[in-house]
Chains A and B, each alone.
Chain A
Amino acid sequence: MYVKCWDRNGGFKTYRDTVELDGSNIKIDKADVDQALKETTLDVNSILLLADRFVTKHQNKPYYFNKEQMQRATKKIINYIMLIETDAMDLHKTKQLAFVMNILTERNLHEKVWEGVKDDKIVHDMMASMVKATSNLIMANRKTPVYANDTSLSGIKNTIPLDLNGFTWLAKTVDYIIE
């Protein structure tokens, strides 16, 4: 973990420390996911904590699946991504969210998460939101963050908002959506 500090002139220092994580006790079940869905904090880490329950295979087990919870989580995550203004994007946010979109769209479409929903409009709106959220992440790449001394980018004027992995994940997302 780190803390990066800087002054008005952009002079900065970074301090690092480590924590030990024991992943052998991770338990993803309905109660755990319900609790994660209740979280109201909307920052990248909180969204990733929710998304990771669905987009990562933990302890070599298959992806966690619960249709109703996956629908709720997808809505929440997609809404979050749509809210982000493209000029608030940076490489770190875009990359993390591109990965989430990649796995989430794949699972939503291949595991037929929305099959059986009676109201076609709900499904249609969800697809539209997926497209919009993906576009939001892609559009971030058209922005060059401006110089600002109120973010940690202050020492790095031209941060590229998407790297090769991020591009690949977004390209896969587009593939799943148009499939």
Chain B
Amino acid sequence: MGYAKKNYFSRSFTGIVDFTISPKKGTPFETEFTLTASKSRVASPIMCEFGYFHPRGKIVLPSEDTIDNLKQTSSKVKKGSFNKRTLTRKVKLLPASDLEAT
């Protein structure tokens, strides 16, 4: 007797994205962190999105790939494209405060 198994959302592309952050330490609101995603080692064009986790939930950062702006899914707005370009994004971060006000 055997069994069949299906893994949902387990597909992935071939290759590796090199993800780096600099600096590694900083002050909320002030320090500008630079995020870099190099796609030179992936086989086919991809899109990437940066983000970070906060106690109140995930915060998605717009990138050149996703052009995640106010009207992201509007048909009037230019959409991003799949590519193999290196992606860089500078960002300041929120402090990791508690969910005290809920």
Contacts and interface: CB of A to CB of B under 8 A. Distances in A.
Interface residues of B, number: 62
B interface: dominant SS? loop
A120 interface: no
A53 B20 CA distance: 28
B28 A3 contact: no
Interface string B10-36: 011100010111011111111001010
Nearest to A2: B51
Interface residues of A, number: 62
B47 A48 contact: no
14 contacts: A8-B82, A13-B12, A15-B17, A20-B24, A23-B96, A42-B70, A44-B59, A45-B94, A87-B73, A88-B70, A88-B73, A95-B57, A145-B73, A152-B60
Interface of A: 1-13, 15, 17, 19-23, 25-26, 32, 36, 42-45, 48-49, 52-53, 55-58, 80, 83-85, 87-88, 90-93, 95-96, 99, 102-103, 145-146, 148, 150-152, 155-156, 165, 168-169
